[in-house]
Structure 1
Amino acid sequence: MQEIIHFILEVDKLKNVSRKVRPVGLNRYENSAEHRWQLGIFAASLAPYAEPNTDINHVIRMLLVHDIGEIDTGDTFVFVQGGWDERKAAELIAVKRIFGLLPQNQAAAFLELWEEFELSQTPEARFANSVDRAMPVLLNLANNGGSWLENGVSYERVVGRVGPQINEGCPALWDSIEEQLKDAHKNGWFGIPIS
Structure 2
Amino acid sequence: MMNGRELLEALTVAERLKDTTRHCYTSKGRHESVAEHSWMMTLMAFFMKNEFPEADFNKVIQMCIIHDLGECFTGDIPTFLKTKEHENLEEELLNNWIKSLPETTCSEMMNLYKEMNERQTLEAKIYKAIDGLEALIQHNFSDISTWSKNEFDLNLTYANDRVSFSEYLSILREEIRKDTIQKISNK
Structure 2-normalised TM-score?
0.86
Residues 139-159 of structure 1: CA distance to partner in whole angstroms, max 9, x if unpaired?
112235464xx3112544334
- Distance of 2:185 and 2:103 partners within structure 1: 47
Any gaps of 5 or more consecutive residues in structure 1? Answer: none
Specify the alignment match of 1:86 in structure 2: 85
Deviation at 1:30, TM superposition (A): 1.0
1:171 is the counterpart of 2:176? no
Note if contact 2:140-2:179 (Cα within 8 Å) is conserved in structure 1: no
Deviation at 1:176, TM superposition (A): 3.1
Specify the alignment match of 1:62 in structure 2: 63
Deviation above 4 Å: which 4+ runs of structure 1? none
Note if contact 2:140-2:183 (Cα within 8 Å) is conserved in structure 1: no
CA gap 1:76/1:166 in 2 versus in 1, 3 angstroms = farther
Match of 1:19 among 14, 17, 22: 22
- Number of residues paired by the alignment? 184
RMSD: 2.4
- Distance of 1:117 and 1:64 partners within structure 2: 12
- Distance of 1:129 and 1:76 partners within structure 2: 17
Match of 1:39 among 38, 41, 50: 41
SS in 2 for 1:54: coil
Any gaps of 5 or more consecutive residues in structure 2? Answer: none
Deviation at 1:3, TM superposition (A): 2.2
- Distance of 2:161 and 2:78 partners within structure 1: 18
Note if contact 2:152-2:184 (Cα within 8 Å) is conserved in structure 1: no
Note if contact 1:133-1:165 (Cα within 8 Å) is conserved in structure 2: yes
Alignment of 1:112-123 (within 5 A): 112-123=111-122
Specify the alignment match of 1:74 in structure 2: 75
Instruction: Work out the percentage of aligned pairs sharing the same amino acid.
Output: 22
Higher-strand-fraction structure:
2
Structure 1-normalised TM-score?
0.82
SS in 1 for 2:21: coil
